[in-house]
A and B are shown apart, each in its own frame.
Chain A
């Protein structure tokens, strides 16, 4: 986490999924950055997202293995309905049932130090 990215991770710690929205032109962006690349405004707000999206791509990671994670890791790229894309995990799904285009919804997984990360499960 860096000072420029705190907006995302602070919201995640509160179980909120947000993206930066430029207050001048309204464009949404992710990953967060200090300046709007479209209009160059330095003002932005955290827009809360619905948490709904579509699986854009995935990979089932087998090796190498890091002790902090359980394998296989289900890596995912999620296209959120609001128009930004995230790297994340898919959870609560068998690797054999993962399909590009499947509908997803966000859930939060606690991590060290009272923080949390957004991951995605199949939409109910």
Chain B
């Protein structure tokens, strides 16, 4: 049995939603159910991932779910976003649930926990807003995801001779996609490499302001059921062809500093092995890829860790135009998290679904297989 995405929903992406994360999640789920031709009472599974303030029980009473037979939260925060597909599929193929809703709601711009603002108190649990791992960074003024990831990115630059302009070339491509996407923050906002190189330093030498994803308010939701049941529903199903997660020893959510070689995103290496080796899907047969770009350096690092090119070669892979629509791996065709908005990764799944339904703004011709990945979690989605 396989599982398929049969409905998607999203709120607008903004800097001031003017309503709570719970309400945002409700709206996205309501729209995803309508897209799927289903009702709340049809749903018996709920899946999300950590660092989300929306409690499942609050959602149940607001949306009107009646009986939840399966639920799960993937660890790793945003890095867990694509693990929701594995967890939802597992819930369905095990028989524990017939219909699973996946959701993410975030107020990263207007809420109490701005990712672009300094975080100065560690939380006792990892469920909602962070982890006790923060205590190892905070006393030193290392307070934001940009600062945590910069420590890894500088090592990457040092190991392979990667420059800020190399990151800039990837951002130019993302912003070109965003420029034509009405849902994107970057819509009708062109950006050149010169603009990128003159944008101010956030964390030198690797992260400038224009290397950062947006802080966004919004929500995305998916409805997933068995491929068999999908045949009776209105939307064209998007099949979860393969799914995997790979959380490694000594990793943390975003302050991931203790693995032996930080110039390689080894969570992505392990994920790639699980995803491709076990499934039989081939990297060179993908039509597009949606890769978690919270910051441009990690986009390059994931491209090579996943095996699309050799170590240290992502800068050349990008410079050669491979991420463009006519390239070998059209990537983040919505503009990415950097160009469109940051719903903690889940808006990249939305774009993959649109590509496979043939409804994307920057449509890849005849898209049949799309990778979605966020460092240590991922899936390969296919057209029905």
Residues of A within 8 A of B (CB): 1-2, 5, 30-31, 37, 56-66, 68-69, 72-73, 75-77, 85-89, 95, 100, 111, 117, 119
Can you list 18 pairs linking A and B with CB atoms under 8 Å apart?
A30-B258, A31-B136, A58-B154, A59-B153, A59-B203, A61-B141, A61-B203, A64-B118, A64-B143, A64-B144, A65-B118, A66-B120, A75-B151, A85-B257, A85-B258, A86-B136, A87-B140, A87-B151
- Give complex CA distance A63, B147 in Å: 9
Given contacts A59-B206, A87-B142, could you give 12 more A-B pairs where the C-beta distance is less than 8 Å? A31-B258, A37-B249, A57-B262, A58-B154, A59-B153, A61-B141, A61-B142, A64-B143, A73-B140, A76-B140, A77-B257, A117-B139
Select one of B154, B201, B205 contacting A63, CB under 8 A: B201
* Residue contact B151 to A89, C-beta cutoff 8 Å: no
Select one of A57, A75, A86, A111 contacting B155, CB under 8 A.
Answer: A57
Query: What 0/1 readout, one digit per residue, does chain B (111-127) give for beta carbons within 8 Å of chain A?
Result: 00000111010101000
B136 touches A87 (CB 8 A): yes
**Contact B141–A1 (Cβ < 8 Å):** no
Task: Name B residues whose Cβ lies closer than 8 Å to a Cβ of A.
Answer: 116-118, 120, 122, 124, 132-133, 135-137, 139-144, 147, 150-155, 158, 200-207, 209, 249, 255, 257-258, 262
Which residues of B have CB within 8 Å of A72?
204
**Judging by beta carbons under 8 Å apart, are B158 and A100 in contact?**
yes
Q: How far is the CA of A58 from the CA of B132 in the complex (A)?
A: 22
Q: Are the C-beta atoms of B135 and A61 separated by less than 8 Å?
A: no
Whether B202 and A5, one on each chain, are in contact in the complex, defined by CB atoms closer than 8 angstroms, is: no
- Closest beta carbon of chain A to B260's beta carbon, Å: 9
Q: Is the CB of A111 within 8 A of B204?
A: no
| Centre residue among A64, A86, A95 by max chain B CB count within 10 A | A64
Q: Are B144 and A5 in contact (CB under 8 A)?
A: no
Those 9 A-B pairs whose CB atoms lie nearest each other, nearest first: A59-B150, A69-B141, A73-B141, A57-B155, A66-B118, A60-B204, A59-B203, A117-B139, A62-B201
Scoring A62, A75, A86, A89 by chain B CB atoms within 10 A of each residue's CB, the highest score goes to A75
B136 to chain A, nearest CB (A): 5
A75 and B201 contact, CB distance less than 8 A: no
Report yes or no: A117 in contact with B141, Cβ–Cβ below 8 A: no
Q: Give CA–CA (A88, B136) in the complex, Å.
A: 8
A89 to B142, CA, bound (A): 9
Contact B257 A1 (CB under 8 A): no
In whole Å, how far is B120's beta carbon from the nearest beta carbon of chain A? 7
Collect the chain B residues with CB atoms within 8 Å of residue A88's CB.
Answer: 140
* CB within 8 Å for A75 and B140 given contacts A62-B201, A63-B201, A87-B257: yes
Interface centre among B142, B204, B207 (most CB of A within 10 A): B142
Query: Shortest CB–CB separation between residue A37 and chain B, in angstroms?
Result: 7
Closest approach, in angstroms, between the C-beta of B335 and any C-beta of chain A?
23
Give Cα distance in the complex from A95 to B137, angstroms. Answer: 19
In this complex, which of A56, A63, A100 has the most chain B Cβ atoms within 10 angstroms of its Cβ? A63
Chain A contacts of B202 at CB under 8 A? Answer: 61-63
User: Which of B120, B136, B142 is A73 in contact with, Cβ under 8 Å?
Assistant: B142
Q: How distant is B203 from chain A, measured CB to nearest CB, in Å?
A: 4
Closest approach, in angstroms, between the C-beta of B211 and any C-beta of chain A? Answer: 12
Using CB atoms, name the residue of chain A closest to B137. Answer: A87
Residue from the list A5, A62, A77 in contact with B203, Cβ < 8 A: A62
Task: Determine if B147 and A59 form an interchain contact, defined as CB atoms under 8 angstroms apart.
Answer: yes
Query: A85 contacts which chain B residues (CB < 8 A)?
Result: 257-258
- A64 cross-chain contacts in B, Cβ below 8 A: 116-118, 143-144
- The answer to whether A57 and B158 touch across the interface, beta carbons within 8 angstroms, is yes
A65 to B203: give the CA distance in the assembly, Å. 12
CA distance A24 to B117 in the complex (A): 43
